Amino acid sequence: MQKIVPHLWFDKNIAEAANFYASTLPNTQVVNRFNNPDTGEDVTAEIDIDGYRIALINGGPYATPTPAISFFLNFDPATREDAESDLRQVWEALSHDGSVLMDLGEYPFSSLYGWVADRFGFNWQLMLTSADQDPRPFVVPSLMYCGPVQGKATEAVDGYIKLFDDSALGNRVTYDAMGAAADKNSPDALPQPTDVAYSDFQLAGQRFSAMDSGVAQPFTFTPGVSLMVLVKDQDELDRYWDALTSDPDKEQCGWLEDKYGISWQIAPENLSELLARPQGFDNMLKMKKLIIDDF
């Protein structure tokens, strides 16, 4: 079971979005839907992208995504008959009615790469991998530390690696090592020498990437994209909750915000079963940290 499942926040259009992603992204299907058993309203829809699960939440107008969390889509010629054609086709679909952040083209790190926010505001980085790169999963979530948490990528990632089992740091490259750091004598200049230009790491056996922004950004993390950690029992739930939560005022329905502003949901593996119980959904709405016995 995938332990960490990204959740995308929508305002009542998750059916449209789930169908869009299923028709746009390679090897993608809608695999699960959950409705409020009391009202019948769509609550979540889950999609499987080449074996990687992402959930869509009907959360209302409260939260919107930003580029602080995006998703790499790695098109590998070693595993795809025409990886470049596949990439261009997906780019065309995602960019239609979307916003291009970095034009599709050749960059020092890839012969074909682009960054786009789709029509729903969620961010995707499409990359054609090369033969000299290690194999990568097709989907890799990417965390960009900016705004009030600029320069915190190293601290945050090291903390997550300590918290999660089956976790390890892969590559970590600073802007100084790339020769791209700003004036070391100017504390306000970006990027600082120790800021992370790129890193990859594993949490619970899943691959992630992280970086500090190279320029000042007007945004940071929001609940528009959250990370749900699925746990086996209350003890494990308590351990993750206690380690990650930073602000009691931002705890609700199993959600918390860590000290970097990333939203996490800590939930039991059988959450759907618990919510299907009589008044299970209403009981959850009364909780901050989820208490399994109280469902």
pLDDT digits (tens, 9 = 90+) for 252-282: 999 999 999 999 999 999 998 998 898 888 9
DSSP state of 154: H
Instruction: Write out the E strands in the chain.
Output: 4-10, 28-35, 42-49, 52-58, 69-75, 99-107, 110-117, 123-128, 139-145, 168-174, 196-203, 206-212, 225-231, 255-257, 263-268
* Res 75 pLDDT > 80: yes
Q: Which helix (H) or strand (E) holds 24?
A: helix 14-24
For residue 189, what pLDDT band results from cuts at 50, 70 and 90? confident
- CATH 3.30.720.110 range(s) for the chain read 69-212
- The CA distances from residue 142 to 28, 57, 123, 213, in Å, are 20, 20, 10, 12
Residues 155-179 as b/e (b if ≥16 CB within 10 A, e otherwise) read ebbebbeeebeebeeeebebbbeee
CATH architecture of structural domain 69-212 = 2-Layer Sandwich (3.30)
Burial class (CB in 10 A: 0-12, 13-18, 19+), 146: buried
Residue-by-residue DSSP string for 64-107: ---TTEEEEEEE-TTT-TTHHHHHHHHHHHHHTTSEEEEEEEEE
For residue 195, what pLDDT band results from cuts at 50, 70 and 90? very high
Which pLDDT does position 229 carry in this prediction?
98
State the virtual CA torsion across 5, 10, 14, 18 in degrees, nearest 10.
-50
Which pLDDT does position 197 carry in this prediction?
97
- CATH 3.10.180.10 range(s) for the chain read 4-62+223-294
* Res 102 pLDDT > 70: yes
Under CATH, what is the fold of the domain 4-62+223-294?
2,3-Dihydroxybiphenyl 1,2-Dioxygenase; domain 1 (3.10.180)
User: What are the structure tokens assigned to 46, written together?
Assistant: 């889950």
Which pLDDT does position 187 carry in this prediction?
66
Of 70, 32, 59, give the one whose Cα is nearest residue 48: 32
21-29 average pLDDT score: 98
166-185 average pLDDT score: 88
Which pLDDT does position 250 carry in this prediction?
95
- The predicted model scores a pTM of 0.95
249-254 average pLDDT score: 96
- The CA distances from residue 157 to 113, 144, 234, in Å, are 25, 11, 25
What is the average pLDDT value for the chain, to the nearest integer?
94
Which pLDDT does position 12 carry in this prediction?
84
Contact 83, 135 (CB under 8 A): no
First to last CA, the chain: 23
127-139 average pLDDT score: 87
Count CA atoms within 13 Å of residue 66 on its CB side.
17
